[in-house]
Amino acid sequence: LPISLCAAPFNGISLAATSRPVLGTTFTLSTSGIPAGTPFASLVLSFTQATPPQDLTPMGMPGCFAHVVGGSNLTYVTPGSTASSALAVPNIAAMTGLSVVTQTFSMSSGYNSAGVIASNGLFLVLGPQ
């Protein structure tokens, strides 16, 4: 029997970095595949990775996992199918090797009982040029 995680056909949302997070530069995180009609989405940035990823099925999000613990949010209001954030990385040598975990959550109704879908997580390590 096929298993359906969403009420409507859906390939998921995807988070990607357009370049490496190098000290003293700006890089962009881009979320694509955001469903039409989404009122908002939130990019979460954290220094703590959920290990192992937390299964969000009990929260009404079957097939979704949380890869971040806590953190700060950048909210996209009425995003299109793609939302991006340019992030400046300070040129501070002491930040070399600092890990940042990111993930996007989209308030998109009709895909599960929670009305929220999650992207993949990204594990970024700040580095020198």
List, for residues 90-128, the tens digit of each pLDDT value: 999 999 999 999 999 999 998 999 999 999 999 999 998
* Spatial distance between the Cα atoms of 92 and 75, rounded to a whole number of angstroms: 26
Rounded alpha-carbon distances, angstroms, from residue 103 to 13, 24, 94, 114: 10, 23, 25, 17
DSSP state of 93: G
pLDDT tier at 7, thresholds 50, 70, 90: very low
pTM: 0.88
Read off the DSSP letter of residue 57.
G
pLDDT, the chain, mean: 90
